[in-house]
Amino acid sequence: MIDFFAALLTPQLFEATVRLATPVTFAALAAVVCERSGVTNIAMEGVMLVGAFFAAWVGWISGNPWLGLLGGIAASALFSLLFAWAVVSLHINHVVTGAIMNILAFGLTRYLMMVFYGRQGTSEAVAKTLHHYKFAIPLLSDIPYVGPAFFNQTPLVYLSIISVFAWAWIFKRTRLGLSLIASGEHPMALETLGRSVYRVRYLAILISGVLCGFAGAFLSIENSNSFTEGMTNGRGFIALAANIAGGWRPVGVFIASLFFGFVDALQMRVQSLGIVKIPSEIFIVFPYVATIVAIAGLVRKSRPPAAVGKDFNIEGDGE
């Protein structure tokens, strides 16, 4: 039994945990920013997919993964503005708009695969991925288990961790953070103080688009070397669940994202060891099922922002 756990719980498992949690962490932070401002954003799955596609395409044509990253972020940000225009300016239902955006993203990337690559399925591979820039932080990376997991990673993984604590500070200490919170709790009060709720929510959705761009780029030009249709595999929805489980707080959603990353890394480790003889499809869905079950027990304890998902119309009654 001891040998079993020794073979299973290796430093590589915990390193993979943090790596696999990274796209969910970025997307979950995007959910925090949006929902704290009062916007229910289920379009993150689609925004991530668009970011993943353009990161791979720009990275392929330029031969530079950093330009690919910028391309993915720019595409995600622009795509998210379409969502912002619909829900903030046109006052269309947030959930309906998000669902349409996800369908649009899947269809758009499928179409662009034919336009840019002349085929469907998987794009051309980029010459170099962001994983190539992995580096260890001296001394800290030597700490058993914790070191390889958190201090021997790639720039995007480090950035995701830094972003968690940066956003925790922003919400508590800055005017931007307080405006986002006010927009999600008491939008009319924020408007009365002279801050435009429309502008705050536009900015929140734009920021979420940038964060989803990082998540999408991670999937296509770091964790992989190409874009595959539908490669987000529900991570946008897992991020929404992580946001709820984390209580709409950056550190909380990071912990929830790590749980998903751990279960995902664990199923891959179990498959590689051949410990359990069951179909591989069961292993693939296991992280999602485990995450849903774990998060279900936390939903009742979480209190969402008071105005989340509610339309705000300054010409109406503010609801």
Is residue 232 predicted with pLDDT exceeding 60?
yes
Is residue 33 predicted with pLDDT exceeding 50?
yes
Give the whole-angstrom CA distance, residue 180 versus residue 35.
Answer: 9
Least confident of 49-58, 168-177, 271-280: 271-280
Taking a C-beta distance cutoff of 8 angstroms, is the pair 221, 65 a contact? yes
Dihedral pair phi/psi, residue 136, rounded to 5°: -100, 145
Taking a C-beta distance cutoff of 8 angstroms, is the pair 269, 13 a contact? yes
Taking a C-beta distance cutoff of 8 angstroms, is the pair 242, 24 a contact? yes
Is residue 319 predicted with pLDDT exceeding 50?
no
* DSSP assignments along the chain, one per residue: -HHHHHHHS-HHHHHHHHHHHHHHHHHHHHHHHHHHTT----THHHHHHHHHHHHHHHHHHHS-HHHHHHHHHHHHHHHHHHHHIIIIIS---HHHHHHHHHHHHHHHHHHHHHHHHSSSSB-PPPSS-GGGG-EEPTTGGGSTTHHHHHHEE-HHHHHHHHHHHHHHHHHHHSHHHHHHHHHHH-HHHHHHTT--HHHHHHHHHHHHHHHHHHHHHHHHHTSSSS-BTTTTTTHHHHHHHHHHHTTT-HHHHHHHHHHHHHHHHHHHHHHHHT-S-S-HHHHHHHHHHHHHHHHHHHHTT----TTTT----TTTT--
Is residue 204 predicted with pLDDT exceeding 60?
yes
Looking at per-residue confidence, does 269 or 238 come out higher? 238
Dihedral pair phi/psi, residue 313, rounded to 5°: -130, 110
On average, the pLDDT of the chain sits at 91
Domain 12-126+155-299: CATH architecture, name and number where available: Orthogonal Bundle (1.10)
Is residue 164 predicted with pLDDT exceeding 50?
yes
Instruction: Record the tokens describing residue 158, joined without a space.
Output: 């480090």
Q: According to the model, what pLDDT value does residue 280 have? A: 63
Q: According to the model, what pLDDT value does residue 274 have? A: 66
Mean pLDDT to the nearest integer, 22-40: 97
Is residue 317 predicted with pLDDT exceeding 60?
no
Q: Give the residue extent of every domain in the chain.
A: 12-126+155-299
| Residue in 57, 69, 41 with CA at minimum distance from that of residue 109 | 57
Q: According to the model, what pLDDT value does residue 82 have? A: 98
Q: According to the model, what pLDDT value does residue 49 have? A: 98
pLDDT tier at 104, thresholds 50, 70, 90: very high
Q: According to the model, what pLDDT value does residue 263 have? A: 87
Sign, Cα dihedral of 247, 249, 255, 257: positive
Is residue 267 predicted with pLDDT exceeding 50?
yes
Mean pLDDT to the nearest integer, 37-55: 97
Is residue 243 predicted with pLDDT exceeding 80?
yes
Mean pLDDT to the nearest integer, 76-102: 97
Mean pLDDT to the nearest integer, 126-134: 95
Q: How far is CA 90 from the centre of its chain?
A: 26
pLDDT tier at 228, thresholds 50, 70, 90: very high
The pTM is what?
A: 0.93
The model's pLDDT over 181-201, given as tens digits with 9 standing for 90+, comes to 999 999 999 999 999 999 999
Mean pLDDT to the nearest integer, 273-298: 69
Q: According to the model, what pLDDT value does residue 9 have? A: 72
Q: Which residues contact 317 (CB under 8 A, 6 or more apart)?
A: none
pLDDT tier at 300, thresholds 50, 70, 90: low
Report the percentage of the chain scoring pLDDT > 70: 90
Is residue 291 predicted with pLDDT exceeding 90?
no
Mean pLDDT to the nearest integer, 61-74: 97
Per-residue b or e along 150-160, where b marks 16 or more CB atoms closer than 10 Å to that residue's CB: bbbbbebbbbb
Q: Which residues contact 280 (CB under 8 A, 6 or more apart)?
A: 271
Q: According to the model, what pLDDT value does residue 318 have? A: 44
Mean pLDDT to the nearest integer, 212-234: 96
Per-residue b or e along 232-270, where b marks 16 or more CB atoms closer than 10 Å to that residue's CB: bbebbbbbbbbbbbbbbbbebbbebbbbbbbbbbbbbbe
